[in-house]
DNA sequence: GTCATTGTTCGTAAAATACCGAACAAATAT
DNA sequence: ATATTTGTTCGGTATTTTACGAACAATGAC
């Protein structure tokens, strides 16, 4: 087949990717926190959230990989913030597809 | 521990549940379709989408389990529609948490 | 240097997800 | 009654996700 049936759009894939990253209570909590306040340190989260620090680290990595947050070294800690560009894109896509 | 630290709210859990259901391109496609037009039959989707009908059936089941769509028997076919109540809740929650 | 702090990575295990084809059920049509 | 249509369920497999503790790096403090 030379022609490529693109039934599912790139936007839908992108949105699904963001949605997937948001699809866990802990990650949702972190996103909610970071979109409310400016930033936070993962140490703070470790104390509050009911998971091992290694597990939290994995969740943060997923949010990073999805592009929703970013971490900045502030030795010996790491400061996490929202990735504004991608967050705005996610906002736009959700808005568009949820018809909000 | 008698006291229960509820760090993660029920709303956040609910939103994560919806987001998880949206976290796959095929499910995103179906949701987008059903929120645009009124309804569709899964047979139509089977023809369009690049997955086996059994796989599609599973995806539809997940959307159903998450409460985002509902199926109505119209023998021998099944008509799928958006679950308006929960869809509205999802819209509300995304709007609130994404600050759209 | 040594110690403490912070967070990632590693190794492992259990559960969930994604996918397929085949078998099955339910209803209509012949 | 038999065949056809439609979609789910079953059995199986591969991959991904979630979770933990222990080990490891990197930095700052003493």
Q: Give me A75's structure tokens.
A: 């030795």
Q: CB neighbours (10 Å) of residue B9?
A: 13
Is A35 in Cβ contact with B29 (below 8 Å)?
Answer: no
pLDDT for the residue A73: 87
Give the tens place of pLDDT for each residue, B12-48.
999 999 999 999 999 999 999 999 977 899 899 999 9
Q: Could you give phi then psi for residue B77, rounded to 5 degrees? A: -100, 175
B99 band by pLDDT with thresholds 50, 70 and 90: very high
Residues 35-64 of B with CB under 7 A from strand D: 41-43, 46, 53-54, 56-58, 60-61
Report d(CA A57, CA A45) in Å as an integer.
10
Give the tens place of pLDDT for each residue, A10-35.
999 999 999 999 999 999 999 999 99
- Domain limits, chain B: 10-98
Give the tens place of pLDDT for each residue, A34-84.
999 778 998 999 999 999 999 999 999 999 999 999 998 887 789 999 999
Coil, strand or helix at B38: coil
CATH fold of A10-98 reads Arc Repressor Mutant, subunit A (1.10.10)
pLDDT for the residue B4: 45
Give the tens place of pLDDT for each residue, B71-88.
988 877 899 999 999 999
Which of A9, A22, A37 to mutate: most B Cβ within 10 Å?
Answer: A22
Distance B56 CA to C21 C1' (A): 14
């Amino acid at each position: 087949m030379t022609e490529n049936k693109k039934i599912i759009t790139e936007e839908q894939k992108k949105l699904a990717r963001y949605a997937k990253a948001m699809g866990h209570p802990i990650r949702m909590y972190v996103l909610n926190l970071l979109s409310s306040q400016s930033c936070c340190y993962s140490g703070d989260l470790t104390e509050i959230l009911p998971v091992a620090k290694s597990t939290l680290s994995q969740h943060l990595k997923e949010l990073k990989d999805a592009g929703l947050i970013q971490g900045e070294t502030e030795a010996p800690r790491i400061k996490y913030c929202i990735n504004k560009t991608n967050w705005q894109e996610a906002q736009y896509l959700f808005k568009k597809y949820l018809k909000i």
